[in-house]
A and B are shown apart, each in its own frame.
Chain A
Amino acid sequence: MPIRIITTHLEFEGQVSEQRVVIEGDEPPVWGPDAALSIVGTPQPRVDGRERVSGVAEYTYDVRLPGMLIAVGLRSPHPHARVTRIDATRAEVAPGVRAVYTRFNAGDFLHPDNERPFFGEELPYAGDLVALVVAESRAQASDACALIAVDYEPLPFVIDPEAALQPDAPHVILTRENNGLSDEYPKTYERGDITRGLAEADVTVEVRFETPAALHNSLETHGATAQWDGRTLTIWTSTQDVYGSRRQVASALGLMHNQVRAIKQYMGGGFGSKFGTHSSGMLAAYAAYKLGRPVQYMLSREEENLCTGHRSPTIQTYHLGAKRDGTITAIDLHAIANVGATGGWFPPVSMVAKEMYQCPNVRTVDEGARTNLGPFAAFRAPGVVEGTAGFEVALDRLAAALNMDPLEFRRKNYAPEHQAMERPYARKLLLEAYDLAAERIGWATRDAEERRYPLGRDGHLRRGVGMASQMWGGDGGPPAQAIAKLLPDGTAVILTGTQDIGTGTRTVLAQIAAEELGLPLEHVRVELGDTEFGVFSPGSGGSMTLSSVGPAVRMAAVEARKELLEVISQLAEAPTDAIELRQGAVFSRETGKEMGTIASFLDQLDGHEITAKGMRGPNAEGMTVRTFGVQFAEVEVDVGTGEVRVLRVVACHDCGRIVNPLTFSSQIEGGIIQGLGFALMEQRIVDDRLGIPVNANLENYKVPTIRDVPEIEIIPLDRPNIHANTLGTLGAGEPPIIPTPGAIANAVAHALGRPVDALPLTPDRVLKLLNQEATV
């Protein structure tokens, strides 16, 4: 097939980039609303569910190789320090120890992406790496860690982002001029005239809203097992991105790409924090390469929570204005995100303020602050979860100041097109989603006395209902490739290079291939997560996996089917359009009679395997493809204890065609539950005198348990978006977490009759709010 190089636009985690990609052949026409599909669109249990429930699924942590050594890290106990001396002599001779790496013998090992040494002289946060001990067992490695004597020279530190931005603040990293994220920041976006917009307003509000650092706490920590056999460096790594891992490991060790193989079959969660290979994986690769023995380095829970990333804390200050009739005239946002000492980018906190509602006069200022804390990392809709919470809370304040119903207020300011880019949305079903979800939650009766006071006015319980809108990308894009192979017995293998990070990717890809190949689902096997046998796919993130890789799989299956029909047509002496494939059998279109199984035809050939390739085509130009949705939450607050319980969440998201309603609903529920954690309980707590996180564990960092989970009602729209890709799908990974915290915060404000100014809404914070004057 002839190739062509094209330029296309891709939006990933709120940032639009131009991509130059190779396109080969033509994609099949899109599955429109009338496509007759029998496997796609049906609920299917996961094709790898059996492995996962029976304990045989091999996670990175479970990889055990003969002669495998275990690495344990020694990490800095100071928020900012210089390492002046390390005495590892006792550790080096301790039982079972095979190597101790520090800056004095491995200081030239540099991170390939930012050229920072893995073992630095200056350690800008508590939890940065000082030494790595590699031993025959984990116990021996940990014992030896305790034998390493380190001299630290403590340096001044700063952990508060506003303090860090002051001119006289301590330098987070000594060599940097200031604590700003980079020269590009603060970064201002402007549309219209903010001063005029505020002047034109009849009512204005000023809202300061703070969000905490949330820790991913994937149940499987970051880490890897690596093996160097003199020819190939194989790395089993808990990653969302095997190709990125291969590139990083190759460049860190100075190997060629064909000398590195990255494998990830099963992983215990990532939620955005596992792009490429974490430094722990590169250190495992380094030690394996140096020692010639397999090395495993899996982080402890504490290391995980100190050094692998978090949702960056934000301080959002809004200045909003509206006309008496509810028309928004001005949106002014100053957003500070604390990106930690070495975070590399700014989470798009201001994306929703720019785009979600109609407004001619908008100004947003993004300011990234470096502090002496671990680096931030993408966390399921980074920036946008925080930004949506702050903005939707501020909007409720404005609606209250106008004496308007919050939902009516949002309807009034509905944005029909992408204002920042001045172009249409491919589709926006938000008004319909408002109607459906408002009806389901019973929005109309939210102020009813008996609903708000379940125990009467004097009782200790108050209930409230709140809502928040959601927008996100997730239409996917090139490059992504797939290969479909039809084996002589009529079964298929689909080769991709994508990852199933727990979302059910393997299952939906199998459904797509089975649909096009006319095979039962059990006859399709999907291979992924291995750079050696796969073909290129992007990292799994940005809610783009299905929409990027799915069309490539579909095209490969369509091409394989074409060849299969050709083979059958020649063997059966019937034209290809007279044949139909269904459930692994061949039928005559004319008579409807079965002509035999697919296998019975392929069997007539000597050793032929059909192999076909598919690629994701370019994205639609001139329009913006988005998922839009809304969530409503009903909460109950105990005004005696400050405890908040979420009773119900109603969610309605336009995620395009739903390939598997069962795994789709699992994604939505999982997002809502993580959003609930962010709203009510999750926060990294830092001792500001010591500069040290004090709850880098699962004991005092609280995540939701089954008892916190409300009734979740999902209203599926399930309509293909024909502009998104040939499947008509949009992502579902991130949309569900985006509006949950905002909806819960607004519900709590409604219940209390008081504004909410920060998350999480822990009992102590709620009690403090109750002691303030009522203003809502």
Chain B
Amino acid sequence: MPDSMPALPATPDEATRQTRIRLTINDTPHDLSIAPRRTLLEVLREDLSLTGAKPGCEMGNCGACTVLLDGEAVYSCLVLAIECPGHTITTIEGLTRDGQLHPIQDTFVQYDALQCGFCTPGQVLALKSLLDRNPHPTDDEIDRGMAGNICRCGAYPKIRAAARALARQQP
């Protein structure tokens, strides 16, 4: 018995349905015209070439796409770009200032808290949001705070060590 896939109606052409928005990313305003259905992750990567946030699952499971929205770690694959005007967005590219790594980034390198590095921008930002909220997290708070970011290479012991070292150093 033939099994026919129904042809679904087309969504209207992206080009004819665009919304103008201003996003403030890493302290820089960007004026954009985008289709309302697009995620922040897509807009960062495709329109702004900010490819530090990675697509790992695009359904909120892995954390590779983590960015900071008003300082809070969010999965940018679950945020629509049109929700973001008026908010402060920080991506991994915004952490390095004048060629200087942020102390979290530097600690990640020193502790080898990365292997392939694909999850790393997300891990760094997740930890930043945790430490900004809670400068001296306990070991358990670190594990809970970082549990939303998968590292398939298993760099976890060293991410933990880096996080603990930073928690000790924080003023």
Could you give, for residues 1-33 of chain B, a 1 whenever the CB lies within 8 Å of some chain A CB and a 0 otherwise?
111111110110111000000000000000000
Q: Given A147-B8, A269-B116, A669-B154: A301 and B14 within 8 A (CB)? A: no
Which residues of the other chain, A, contact B7 by a CB distance below 8 angstroms?
Answer: 87, 90, 146-149
Q: Which stretch (A334-342, A454-462, A624-632, A699-707) binds chain B?
A: A699-707
CA distance A219 to B64 in the complex (A): 8
B105 touching A697, Cβ below 8 Å: no
Which residues of the other chain, B, contact A56 by a CB distance below 8 angstroms?
Answer: 52, 93
With both beta carbons as reference points, the residue of chain A lying nearest to B52 in the complex is identified as A55
B92 touching A54, Cβ below 8 Å: yes
Does A432 make an interface contact (CB < 8 A)? Answer: no
CA distance A59 to B155 in the complex (A): 18
Which residues of the other chain, A, contact B149 by a CB distance below 8 angstroms?
Answer: 705-706
Could you give, for residues 96-129 of chain B, a 1 whenever the CB lies within 8 Å of some chain A CB and a 0 otherwise?
1000010001101110101111111100100000
Does B165 make an interface contact (CB < 8 A)? Answer: no
Q: Which stretch (A45-53, A251-259, A723-731, A742-750) binds chain B?
A: A45-53
Could you give, for residues 461-503 of chain A, a 1 whenever the CB lies within 8 Å of some chain B CB and a 0 otherwise?
0000000000000000000000000000000000000000111
Tell me, rounded to whole Å, the shortest Cβ–Cβ distance linking A695 to chain B: 11
Q: Which stretch (A314-322, A365-373, A670-678) binds chain B?
A: A670-678
Q: Given A268-B54, A697-B59, A704-B154: A45 and B110 within 8 A (CB)? A: yes
Residue from A140, A502, A667 having most chain B Cβ neighbours under 10 A: A502
Which residues of the other chain, B, contact A64 by a CB distance below 8 angstroms?
Answer: 46, 49, 51
Tell me, rounded to whole Å, the shortest Cβ–Cβ distance linking B41 to chain A: 11
CA distance A90 to B92 in the complex (A): 41
Does A715 make an interface contact (CB < 8 A)? Answer: no
B61 touching A268, Cβ below 8 Å: no
Q: Given A64-B51, A219-B54, A301-B56: A697 and B108 within 8 A (CB)? A: no
Please classify how large the interface on chain A is, using the bins under 10, 10 to 19, 20 to 34, 35 or more: 35 or more
Quick one: which of A62, A84, A151, A671 contacts B154, CB cutoff 8 A? A671
Which residues of the other chain, B, contact A574 by a CB distance below 8 angstroms?
Answer: none
CA distance A670 to B155 in the complex (A): 6
Quick one: which of A55, A147, A667 contacts B51, CB cutoff 8 A? A55
Tell me, rounded to whole Å, the shortest Cβ–Cβ distance linking B30 to chain A: 16
A301 touching B59, Cβ below 8 Å: yes
With both beta carbons as reference points, the residue of chain B lying nearest to A63 in the complex is identified as B51
If over half of B's interface residues share one DSSP class (helix, strand or loop), that class is named, otherwise mixed; here it is: loop
Tell me, rounded to whole Å, the shortest Cβ–Cβ distance linking B117 to chain A: 3
Could you give, for residues 26-60 of chain A, a 1 whenever the CB lies within 8 Å of some chain B CB and a 0 otherwise?
00000000000000000001100111111111110
With both beta carbons as reference points, the residue of chain A lying nearest to B50 in the complex is identified as A55
Which residues of the other chain, B, contact A53 by a CB distance below 8 angstroms?
Answer: 92, 101, 105-106, 108-109, 114, 117, 120-121, 124
Tell me, rounded to whole Å, the shortest Cβ–Cβ distance linking B145 to chain A: 9
B150 touching A502, Cβ below 8 Å: no
Quick one: which of A51, A55, A148, A707 contacts B93, CB cutoff 8 A? A55
A709 touching B156, Cβ below 8 Å: yes
A139 touching B2, Cβ below 8 Å: no
Q: Given A143-B10, A674-B154: A301 and B93 within 8 A (CB)? A: no
A698 touching B62, Cβ below 8 Å: yes
Could you give, for residues 129-172 of chain A, a 1 whenever the CB lies within 8 Å of some chain B CB and a 0 otherwise?
00000000111100110111111111000000000000000000
Which residues of the other chain, B, contact A698 by a CB distance below 8 angstroms?
Answer: 56-57, 59, 61-62, 150
Given A52-B117, A219-B62, 10 extra CB contacts under 8 A: A55-B50, A55-B93, A139-B38, A153-B3, A219-B54, A219-B152, A268-B119, A301-B58, A502-B115, A706-B143
22 A-B residue pairs with CB within 8 Å: A53-B101, A53-B121, A61-B55, A77-B5, A87-B7, A90-B10, A95-B14, A149-B7, A151-B3, A152-B5, A216-B152, A217-B152, A220-B54, A268-B56, A269-B116, A269-B153, A502-B116, A663-B112, A666-B153, A673-B154, A699-B57, A706-B149
A interface, CB within 8 angstroms of B: 45-46, 49-59, 61-62, 64, 77-78, 81, 84-85, 87, 90, 94-96, 137-140, 143-144, 146-154, 216-220, 266-269, 271, 298, 300-301, 501-504, 662-663, 665-667, 669-674, 697-699, 703-707, 709, 712
